[in-house]
A and B are shown apart, each in its own frame.
Chain A
């Protein structure tokens, strides 16, 4: 089985800067990490590889050259190889344009049976790229997946964690599966994995390499535009009570709920 995992570099700090003119996140001077929710996708692919040892897992990302580091991290977790789609033309891509680049790149690499993705990235928090990639590749997508089984005939039985329960769907490969955190408990990379990741070269592919038209990526290829960015006031300036006993504290809470017409 040939598998790919979509991974993303996200800022590791909470101190994130936005370019006030373009509204695009400034990623240069920040500490970065592999999107925590992508580690579950990597782990799932690696687990399937353990069951089907002839399988391969390719970690795939779009990002600035420095994003090689997080692709390498995915390799350390057990992926066989890593590819980074990187080009100045990709800068400012929204979810549609990002999905377009990833879909084109995956098509170029060719022949994946399962493409895994995390539920969403912790920076953009849209969760849109996975389903968009699947549609652009014209393959089915399974979202919010909390369990995957490869059946004897090669079909894929997936459990989707939805409101109020779990939905079971069966599809044939190729398919894109975005997973939720419930699906597994990722292992920390072992010594072997880290050594492999260190020595492996991450393949970098440009817009030209993957055949992406510059009008279909970056800010130009994005259907959406950030028109304004502002910092919300998070403080609520509520009432504070200290030095009152638990009994009185509980009463204060009840009073509050009554005043607000909730009780």
Chain B
């Protein structure tokens, strides 16, 4: 039984995703604790050497490649069959994937097929000293409670982790081993017909991958004022988020909603303009590194979880902030790989 740690590498629009590297940061510390290999499973229609090199650079000891033109898109049953086949063949100790629409579809399918445990949306992973088991910590019930979960009797131990929660880190001393996995025709029989992809017209970055999120709530007063948040977001290279109240008012669409019945985000900076901070909303932003809030009401709950609290009119402060940024031309320092 190997003690190897597996992560997934994924290509979208011809490039490896940022999460492919983030997962290696998650996995590196686990592999180091166990003295085992960190492996990246790279399933794609086209695999280039420089991409594999990048995975080594960011911590992978070994890269399993599966290449076929039919693997361009994520077809759930094909990916499941290939993953299960490889897991059975190589017996990894741990498998980690991102908690995005890919990981949250594929991982439960694999776990169900292999009858093993899977923990969603982990914010912390570590190895238990005595047992070598994966300790999977995740927020539950809107972040009010943290639970540490183990999969004590079955392998592999599986977890999805929140995108953006860790930064990709360069790593020296990779063993740089490539294992080319050839899979047979039978793996490509599928129940799915891939019809196409339509880019989101708003061409905005996905909120769960944004470094900066500018959130607005009821305090923004109306749709027109709310829309000014996009100016700040554009200046900071971020996305716009919203409280449920703002979505319910129709100022912004549901994909922007953050919180218990919306998205969970982990940006570097979260701005809360005119957001009171209902428990449900706070549940969605607990992973933010810094929270900056502006609200008229000094008793707003949002101030309890803010690093910088401004008691004042959110629209006026927003206007001044946008103006100052335009004047100074200050830019966010970007630490992303690509």
Show the binding face of A for B, using Cβ within 8 Å. 11, 14, 16, 18, 23, 25, 36-37, 94-96, 99, 122-132, 134-136, 139-141, 143-144, 157, 159-172, 180-182, 222-232, 234-236, 238-247, 249-254, 256-257, 260-263
Contacts and interface: CB of A to CB of B under 8 A. Distances in A.
Nearest to B139: A232
A96 to B, nearest CB: 7
A262 B333 contact: yes
**Residue of B119, B262, B298 ringed by the most chain A CB atoms within 10 A:** B119
A94 B313 CA distance: 46
Contacts of A168: 194-198
Interface string B124-159: 000000000001000111111111111111100000
B137 to A, nearest CB: 8
> Which bracket fits the contact residues of B?
35 or more
Contacts of B120: 95, 125-128
Nearest to B190: A140
27 contacts: A11-B141, A96-B112, A122-B142, A125-B260, A131-B104, A135-B113, A141-B105, A141-B109, A144-B101, A144-B104, A164-B199, A164-B206, A165-B199, A169-B195, A181-B261, A223-B117, A225-B151, A227-B148, A231-B144, A238-B291, A243-B311, A244-B310, A246-B319, A246-B320, A250-B324, A252-B308, A257-B330
Interface of B: 12, 73, 76-77, 80, 100-102, 104-105, 107-109, 111-113, 115-121, 135, 139-154, 191-200, 206, 208-209, 253-255, 257, 260-262, 264, 268-269, 279-280, 282, 286, 290-292, 294, 298, 303-313, 316-317, 319-321, 323-325, 328, 330-333
Contacts of B143: 232, 234
Given A241-B309, A246-B316, A253 B115 contact: no
B121 to A, nearest CB: 7
**Residue of B112, B262, B304, B306 ringed by the most chain A CB atoms within 10 A:** B112
A127 B109 CA distance: 12
Contacts of A231: 144-146
B154 A236 contact: no
A131 to B, nearest CB: 4
A157 B198 CA distance: 14
A241 to B, nearest CB: 5
Contacts of B192: 140, 169-171
A128 B255 CA distance: 20
Nearest to B133: A227
